[in-house]
Amino acid sequence: MVVGGGFAGLAVVRGLAGAPVRVTLIDRQNHHVFQPLLYQVATAALSPAQIAAPIRRIFKSQPNVEVVMGRVDGLDADARQVSVVRADGSVEAIGYDALVLAAGATHSYFGNDGWAAHAPGLKTIDDAVEIRRRFLVAFEAAEREEDAKRRRALLTFVVIGAGPTGVELAGAISEISRTVIRRDFRRIDTGSARVVLIEAMDRVLPAMRPMSSRKAADQLRELGVELRVATRVVGIDANGVAIQGGSRIDAGCVLWAAGVRASAIGAMLGAETDQAGRVVVAPDLSVPGRTEIFVAGDLASVEMVRGAKDAAKKVPGVAPAAMQMGRFVAAQIRARVERGWDTPATSGVEERSRFVYRDKGTLATIGRARAVGEVLGMNLSGFIAWAFWALVHVMFLVGFRNRWVVMWDWSWDYVFFERGARLITGQKGHEVTKKGE
């Protein structure tokens, strides 16, 4: 059984194709999301169907897979079963012989859960659609606002957290405001929108090399993004954010890209977790004391073991790492099934059963033809980094069809600088009023 249909979960299931096992894949959504492009949905460049693929379709030709749409709300490791709340609300207990937890992470507001309503994070398609709604509604409201101060606030966008997602969001918002939608409005100049990127650490993209941070900061400034590093947010409300030290930024739209916390399923397991809620796993990604349970992807806390100087570092929560872990776990399960599930490994197998993360580099995109990257030891930036980023992301997009549609869309956008997905949907409040008419 595999819990989670993200990059790690899919890699596990794919790795078990043709193996003499029955695989049950459980996910809350009926679709896999290509997370690295989710910010493009949030900023109205792509539409949801372009970066998501129904999980059932992905595995329709892999007969040993059953897909269950549901949310795991309980785990009994002794009884070897999980409790699943299905799409229609009913609850089902499903047993397993081996379990792979790949439920990923969600955003964390560091204990300030009240902030969630005012500063949505970006993990699911629904999150992206909600951010898109807020982003576009801010311009709509500003267009009709008579009060100059209030209009200024409505045209202020604050992104909290300057990791890759925050950088992508801030860059895209600033770029779109200054170009694509500028001619759509009559009273406001969307090009005057203020985009503030706040980071608690002393530089943007703190997980990358200082040189990449500098290049990224330069490119963000070129796009008009205002950077506030070494700045801590102490409050978020409907009208903006409060900064440590007493200052305040009034904003029409605040987005959260600052913290992630591992899925609660890690805690259900009763195993050791790190401060981000990730499960501390053995070198073969199994849970210590539970050799039938593996953890892969963002939910796993794995030490890098490539050399003494990296020993303390953890494998990062990025898509390539998740896919590598997934493939590794699938290979582990295959090997154990082949030799008999409970037969101890021979020394030869033992040697292979240590997950090693192969870091192929990091890329962060900033805007149209702007990105930074660290690939094969090289520092890339600007158009080259962006082209490389676009190529890698399109290549990896799940599903042949999506790949072509995205390429088509991107080519179109690149040539005509047009945005086709600029819809404001999901206005539940509006909706109710309308139906009541």
Q: Which residues inside 161-200 make contact with its own copies, applying CB under 8 A?
A: 181, 183-187
Total interface residues for its own copies by CB under 8 A:
73
Residue 44 tokens, joined: 């109205």
Q: What angle do CA 381, 317, 365 make, to 5 degrees?
A: 25
Shortest Å distance, C-beta 22 to its own copies: 10
Which strand ranges, in their side-by-side order, compose the sheet holding 248-250?
A: 233-237, 240-243, 248-250
Shortest Å distance, C-beta 356 to its own copies: 31
118 vs 158: CA distance, rounded Å: 11
Choose between 123 and 370: whose C-beta lies nearer to its own copies: 123
- Per annotation, catalytic residue among 145, 168, 175, 374: 168
Which residues, 143 to 162, sit near its own copies by CB under 8 A? 143-144, 154
Judged by CB under 8 A, the residue of 18, 95, 288, 426 near its own copies is 426
178 vs 393: CA distance, rounded Å: 25
Secondary structure class of 165 (helix, strand, coil): helix
Residues 6+ apart with CB under 8 A from 384: none
Our finding on whether 425 is near its own copies (CB under 8 A) is yes
Our finding on whether 250 is near its own copies (CB under 8 A) is no
Our finding on whether 343 is near its own copies (CB under 8 A) is no
221 vs 308: CA distance, rounded Å: 38
Our finding on whether 360 is near its own copies (CB under 8 A) is no
CA dihedral of residues 263, 18, 342, 340 (deg, nearest 10): -170
Of the listed pieces 5-13, 203-211, 354-362, 421-429, which binds its own copies according to CB under 8 A? 421-429
Which stretches does DSSP call E strand in 311-423? 362-367, 370-375, 378-381
Of the listed pieces 58-66, 162-170, 281-289, 299-307, which binds its own copies according to CB under 8 A? 58-66
Of the listed pieces 135-143, 159-167, 205-213, 327-335, which binds its own copies according to CB under 8 A? 135-143
The yes-or-no answer on residue 145 being catalytic is no
Secondary structure class of 164 (helix, strand, coil): helix
b or e along 89-101 (b: 16 or more beta carbons within 10 Å of the residue's beta carbon)? eeeeebebebbbb
Contact indicator for 394, 156 with CB cutoff of 8 Å: no
Residues 6+ apart with CB under 8 A from 296: 8, 9, 11, 12, 100, 101, 102, 285, 322, 325, 326, 328, 329
Which residues, 369 to 408, sit near its own copies by CB under 8 A? 401-402, 405, 408
Judged by CB under 8 A, the residue of 8, 10, 16, 52 near its own copies is 52
Which residues, 89 to 128, sit near its own copies by CB under 8 A? 89-90, 92, 106, 116, 124-126
Secondary structure class of 110 (helix, strand, coil): coil
Choose between 267 and 311: whose C-beta lies nearer to its own copies: 267
Judged by CB under 8 A, the residue of 29, 83, 192, 239 near its own copies is 29
Judged by CB under 8 A, the residue of 28, 214, 314, 334 near its own copies is 28
Question: Which neighbouring-strand residues pair with 250?
Answer: 240
Of the listed pieces 7-15, 45-53, 218-226, 368-376, which binds its own copies according to CB under 8 A? 45-53
Shortest Å distance, C-beta 74 to its own copies: 13
DSSP-assigned letter for residue 398 = S
Shortest Å distance, C-beta 382 to its own copies: 28
Residue 64 tokens, joined: 């040993």
Shortest Å distance, C-beta 90 to its own copies: 8
Shortest Å distance, C-beta 89 to its own copies: 8
Residue 390 tokens, joined: 């676009």
Amino acid at 23: V
Choose between 200 and 424: whose C-beta lies nearer to its own copies: 424
Shortest Å distance, C-beta 230 to its own copies: 29
Q: Going residue by residue from 281 to 310, which x/- string records binding to its own copies, judged by CB under 8 A?
A: ------------------------------
212: phi then psi, degrees, rounded to nearest 5: -65, -40
Q: Which residues are catalytic?
A: 168
